[in-house]
Amino acid sequence: MIPPVVDITWVGEATAEVVLADVRWYLDGRPGRKAYEDGHLPGAVFVDLDQWLSGDPRAGGGRHPLPDPETFAQGMSELGIGDDATVIGYDDQGGVIAARLVWMLRVTGHEASLLDGGLQGYGGPLETGHRAVPHAHFTPRPWPAERLADIDDAVNPANVVLDARSAERYHGKGEIVDARAGHIPGAVSVPCRENLDENGRFLPVAALRRRFAAAGAPAPVAGAPAPVAPAPVAAAPRGDPVVSYCGSGVTACHNLLALELCGLGQGRLYPGSWSEYSASPDRPIAT
């Protein structure tokens, strides 16, 4: 499996067939497709987050539930992404949106990475308009249960639960999307955009490790000191103890890829995230 993050030099030197995937999407409602048509990396295809990377929100499970594997496979096929393709996802926000596509591909056994620095890190001339590509064969594969968490995992104190949203939304300030403001009790604020430096590139591995260690993520080496207080009594985690969530299960994937990049495991995605949790009136919230 290729690394979860690569740079433009790696892309230029790649020997395998590489598909560049533009996954721009904006919370304020601006159309990502329009941004793509106005200028994208040469040869890139546009991946519509709402159409191919999300299921129907009316069925429950938050604003961007995972699509069924057949829908995802159809989208990849129509975009010319086959089973053996190597996909490099990017956006213009440091990969916080494109991470969803990359995570979905990696957990189903496909070669995929984020482009470090994204669109801004390219520096060359852009291509405009829409790019038509021949269909490819992409086999539907089920979402691996061991890489997913549910609403009960998100409140289990035996897990390390990371909130990838901004610190303001975590603290219950400036909520612009969901009916209730705040965070899941016990969750730790690890804003995904702070995985990046001022140029939109990932921080060095050592800095990323410090960020996640401060949030309670397990150390990458044996011999870490024992906690000074006993752990809360709770059911054991169903899998990896690190659970990542955000508003709707999109930017949470950026934290999961950052964890993998710095050797701290793969973690689990809570797809429903705050949009599902906050819609349950009986669930407590913290601010």
206-to-10, 25, 85, 161, 267 alpha-carbon distances in Å? 21, 30, 31, 21, 18
Distance between CA atoms of residues 138 and 270, nearest Å: 25
Cα dihedral 49→54→58→62 (10° resolution): -100
- Tell me whether residue 45 is exposed, middle or buried, using C-beta atoms within 10 angstroms of its C-beta: 0 to 12, 13 to 18, 19 or more: buried
CB-based contacts of 202: which residues, under 8 Å, 6+ apart?
5, 116, 195, 196, 208, 258, 261
- Buried b or exposed e, range 120-157, using 16+ CB within 10 angstroms: eebeeeeeeeebeeeebebeeeebeeebbbbbebbbbe
Sign, Cα dihedral of 228, 231, 236, 238: negative
Q: How many CB atoms lie within 10 A of CB 47?
A: 28
Length of the chain measured in residues: 287
The catalytic site residues sit at: 246
CB-based contacts of 136: which residues, under 8 Å, 6+ apart?
76, 77, 79, 80, 81, 82, 83, 85
